Amino acid sequence: MGQRQIACIFLSLASGIFGMPALSHEFWIAPTSYLADETTQIDAELLVGMDMVGSAQIHIKNEIKQSFRQLADQRKPNKGRLGDRPALQTMALGSGLHVLAHVTKQQSTSYKDLQKFQAFLEEKDLLAYLQEHRDRNLPEKDFAEGYVRHAKSLLVRGSAMGGDQILGLRLELVAMNNPYVMTLPNNIPILALEHGKPVANRRMTIQSRRPDGVTDRAFAMTNDQGLANIMLYPDREYLIDLVTMEQSDPATDPHQAPWRSHWASLTFQTPTKALAQ
Is residue 70 one of the residues assigned to a domain?
A: yes
Residue 139 maps to a domain = yes
Q: Looking at the domain assignment, is residue 75 inside a domain? A: yes
| Residues of the chain under the 70 pLDDT cut | 1-24
pLDDT digits (tens, 9 = 90+) for 61-107: 999 999 999 999 999 999 999 999 999 999 999 999 999 999 999 99
Work out the widest C-alpha separation in the chain, in whole angstroms.
57
Q: How far is residue 11's CA from residue 59's CA, in Å, rounded to a whole number?
A: 10
Query: Tell me, what DSSP letter sits at residue 159?
Result: B
Residue 30 in 3-state DSSP?
Answer: strand
In SS3 terms, 227-264 reads as EEEEEECCCEEEEEEEEEEEECCCCCCCCCCCEEEEEE
Strand, helix or coil for residue 269: strand
Q: Return d(Cα 11, Cα 165) in angstroms, integer.
A: 33
Quote the pLDDT of residue 95: 98
If we measure between CA atoms, which residue out of 47, 15, 14 comes closest to residue 30?
47
- Answer yes or no: is 118 within a domain: yes
* Model pLDDT, residue 13: 41
Average pLDDT, the chain: 92
Estimate the share of the chain in helix, then strand, then coil, as percent rounded to the nearest 5. Answer: 15, 45, 40
The pLDDT of residue 24 is: 58
Read off the pTM: 0.91
Contact partners, residue 277, CB within 8 Å, separation at least 6: 159, 160, 161, 178, 181
Number of domains in the chain: 1
- pLDDT for 276 equals 85
| Among 235, 102, 103, CA closest to 179 | 235
Residue 56 lies in a domain: yes
Q: How many CA atoms lie within 13 A of 202 on its CB side?
A: 26
Tell me the residue range of the domain where 161 lies.
3-270
201 SS3 class: coil
